[in-house]
Chain A
Amino acid sequence: MTLSEEVAEESAGEAAPPPPPSRGRMVARRFLSSWQGRAGALVLALVFLLAFAGPLVSPWSATAKDFTSFLAPPSAAHWFGTLRTGADVFAVTLSGLRRSLAVGLLAAVVCTALAALAGAFAGYFLGWTDRVITWVTDLLLVLPAFLVLAVLSPLAGPGRWPLFVLLLALLLWMVTAKMARAMTISLRQREFVRAARYLGVPPVRIVLSHILPNLSSLLVVDATLNVSAAILTETSLSYFGFGIQPPDVSLGTLIADGSRTAVYAPWTFWFAAGLLVVTVLAVNLVGDALRDAFDPASRTTGKRR
């Protein structure tokens, strides 16, 4: 049972007959009633559709080379033009988009889960657990994440991009963990947590089944914003050759290659860059609308990167 459910039931007790709308439905309704939510969700759906259904309508595959046209501008045969190697920009960009989306989503899920566990355990047990976890968090905040990722990037060589996702997640969880910890500290004084404690529920189960569900609104919002953070970090790292390694492509590697030919062949740069910006923008809008939907009192927008 989450906090707002409690509140909803309490307030519903007075007006009685029609059962209170479920929390999920309430959040969904608030989410869809804001234009940010609608626009973000729509654009994101379109981006996913493009990334995964686009290859079905494209005559070229991401690895195919057209040896009759090198660096050709967009045409009927090549909708987004071709690269210097003769690869079709449309097919390659979609392949990169799929990889960037996968990296962003996976990294966000792993990093939010990690943050939730670390924050909840630190906040609930306090004492030494808290000291150690807080210290590790601070340490990772002090070490430049870019440096660690770049130094360790040779480990995640060609074809081993899941390892890169894991590294990315390991360096993005700290801020969310700090917030989860602060929320847990106030939660552990709540009646239902104390009741569970006095009833003899083991501490680990209290954290998993009473604390974590009550952090869910924070976690959902942060997971969304972490998707965009992960995509942006991946792009920057891949741009300098520290991220996704060839033959894999991501939007970052495409933008890096494209920026070299952008002056005389703009199509090699703008499609990848544009798709990236649109994707991140949509994810941010969704995250923002979600935050407002979960907590209408907060109205704060774009506070974190």
Chain B
Amino acid sequence: MAGFLARRLIGSVALVAVAASLAYLLAAAALDPRAAYAGRTPPPPAAVVDAQLTALNLNDRTPLAERYLTWAGGVLRGDFGRSVTGAPVGDDLKRRAGVTLRLVLLGLVCGSALGVMAGALAAARQYGWFDRLSTAVAFLLLAVPVVVLANVLILAGTWANDHLFGARVLLVAGEATAGLEAGFWETLLDRARHLVLPTVTLTLGLAAVFSRYQRNAMLDVLGADYLRTAMAKGLTRRRALIRHGLRTALIPVATYFAFVFGALLTGAAFTEKIFGWHGLGERLISSILTDDVNTVAAIACLAAVAVLVASLAAAVLQALLDPRVRAG
């Protein structure tokens, strides 16, 4: 196990290094930070622009290889460089990581819990009314892209505010009301009101995927001998299903859970952007629009690390949960 993990770790680190370098080179070659200065009135002198860009390691007149080495050297020392406005990228991303984590964790926990429950219930009564209903809903949700789902929820939220609550209960922009001066509980309530709709967006999409996974895993388990044995020894079907069936069926889903968590770090970008949450994903979109090479590269690096850590965690989790994998 340890040797297997070590080999995987070395391979992963190499993969992250190449992925991050590739992302930096792509971004540095394709994005044009100089364009931001061209539109200014009065136009700044060329020498000033050059000096400014060089200071940020963004000057396209410096050879790409040289810029890359400067950047890579900085990253090795834990310095991700500066954004186009001159602020250190690392500090900005650290703050945003917290925002993203709050959204993603809640969405993922709600989504997987809902999906696992729906999938397990559907499989327990295959082709029953709940199975058909949940399948239909899951198929519908899988066909709705996040950008549509988020906008539909915003419309639904504003409609509910106007017609059901008669007050602005659900807030659709940002993570907290700006400049809110209130006690602990009011702040918490305010955050919760902002959190509802983005969380629902993430939850619905994830629940649909998880319910399909769980249903399939559960159906595989249902015909297993040990389940029949458990019932033959006197367990009720319900107890056998929960104690023996659900636990086994959760293994592939747990693996998938770890994997999704890594992908969601940037996968929540659309949700964040539409709801105006200042998280990592939102920064990724805005940094591409503002030709912010260093930020793009840093987020790509983070995303690659997250995906690989997640897949490593998935492998470990599977080994812990499934004795057969451990033995093999």
Q: Are B212 and A302 in contact (CB under 8 A)?
A: yes
CB<8 Å pairs between A and B, sample of 27: A141-B307, A142-B15, A142-B19, A142-B307, A142-B308, A144-B266, A144-B300, A147-B266, A147-B296, A148-B26, A151-B288, A151-B296, A155-B30, A236-B146, A239-B270, A255-B148, A255-B151, A266-B155, A280-B142, A280-B143, A284-B143, A301-B135, A302-B138, A302-B142, A303-B212, A305-B142, A305-B209
Q: For A281, what are the chain B residues with a Cβ–Cβ distance below 8 Å?
A: 139-140, 143
Encode B49-82 as 1/0 by CB contact (under 8 A) with A.
0000000000000000000000000000000000
A182 at the interface (CB under 8 A from B): no
Cα-based distance from A150 to B269 in the complex (angstroms): 12
Complex Cα spacing A139 to B296, Å:
17
Which one of A152, A276, A303 lies within 8 Å of B145 (CB-CB)? A276
Binds B, one of A107-115, A203-211, A256-264: A256-264
* Neighbouring A residues of B147 by C-beta, 8 Å: 235-236, 239, 252, 255-256, 259
Question: What 1/0 mask marks residues of chain B from 205 to 218 whose CB sits below 8 Å from any chain A CB?
Answer: 00001001100100
Cross-chain contact A143 with B23 (CB below 8 angstroms): yes
Residues of B within 8 A of A241 (CB): 289
Given A139-B18, A302-B138, A228 and B148 contact (CB-CB distance below 8 Å)? no
Q: Give me the interface of A with B, judged by CB distance under 8 Å.
A: 135, 138-139, 141-144, 146-148, 150-152, 154-155, 228, 232, 235-236, 239-242, 252, 255-256, 259, 262-263, 266, 269, 273, 276-278, 280-281, 284-285, 299-303, 305
Question: Roughly how many angstroms separate A273 CA and B143 CA in the complex, as a whole number?
Answer: 11
Contact, CB under 8 Å: A299 / B219: yes
> Is residue B242 within 8 Å, beta carbon to beta carbon, of the partner chain?
no
B260 to A: closest C-beta gap in Å:
11
Residues of B contacting A155 in the complex (Cβ-Cβ under 8 angstroms): 30
Pick the 6 closest A-B CB pairs, nearest first.
A281-B143, A280-B143, A302-B212, A259-B151, A239-B147, A273-B148
Q: Is the CB of A269 within 8 A of B27?
A: no
Given the interface pairs A255-B147, A256-B147, A302-B212, the reply to whether A152 lies near B30 with Cβ below 8 Å is: yes
Residue pair B15, A284 in contact (C-beta under 8 Å) = no
CA distance A236 to B140 in the complex (A): 17
Contact yes or no, A147 B139, CB < 8 A: no
Residue B16 interfacial (CB < 8 Å): yes
Q: Does B108 contact A (CB under 8 A)?
A: no
B290 in the interface (beta carbon within 8 A) = no
Q: Which chain B residues in 255-270 approach chain A with CB under 8 Å?
A: 266, 269-270
CA distance A259 to B145 in the complex (A): 13
Neighbouring A residues of B285 by C-beta, 8 Å: 150, 240
In B29-60, the 8 Å CB interface with A consists of 30-31
Tell me whether B232 is interfacial, beta carbon within 8 Å: no
With A142-B15, A240-B285 already in contact, the answer to whether A263 and B212 are too (CB < 8 A) is no
- Interface 1/0 per residue, B123-152 and A, CB below 8 Å: 000000000000100111011111110011
CB distance from A21 to the nearest CB of B (A): 28
Whether a CB of chain A sits under 8 angstroms from the CB of B158 is yes
B interface, how many residues as a size bin? 35 or more
- Establish whether residues A277 and B144, one from each chain, have CB atoms under 8 Å apart when the complex forms: yes
Taking CB atoms, residues of chain B closer than 8 Å to A144 are 266, 284, 300, 303-304
Is there an interface contact between B139 and A154, defined as CB atoms closer than 8 Å? no
Q: For residue B140, which residues in chain A have a CB less than 8 angstroms away from its CB? A: 277, 281
On chain B, the residues within 8 Å of A232 by CB distance are: 145
Chain B neighbourhood of A299, CB < 8 A: 219
| Known contacts A143-B300, A150-B288; A235/B16 CB under 8 A | no
- Cα-based distance from A151 to B145 in the complex (angstroms): 21
**Of all chain B residues, which has the CB nearest A140?**
B19
Determine whether B22 belongs to the interface, using a CB cutoff of 8 Å to chain A.
yes
Task: Give the complex CA separation of A280 and B152 in angstroms.
Answer: 17
Q: How far is the CB of B204 from chain A (nearest CB, A)?
A: 13
> Does B120 sit at the interface, judged by CB under 8 A?
no
CB of B288 within 8 A of CB of A263, answer no
B194 interfacial contact with A, CB 8 Å? no
Contact residues of B between 264 and 312, Cβ < 8 Å to A: 266, 269-270, 273, 284-285, 288-289, 296, 299-300, 303-304, 307-308
Taking a contact as CB atoms under 8 Å apart, the answer to whether A147 and B284 are in contact is: yes
Is there an interface contact between B212 and A301, defined as CB atoms closer than 8 Å?
yes
A263 touches B219 (CB 8 A): no
Chain B residues lying within 8 Å of A273, measured Cβ to Cβ, are 148, 151-152
> Are A139 and B273 within 8 A (Cβ)?
no
Contact status B19-A143, CB under 8 Å: yes
**In the complex, which residues of chain A have a beta carbon less than 8 angstroms from the beta carbon of B289?**
241
Q: Which residue of A lies closest to B135 (CB)?
A: A301
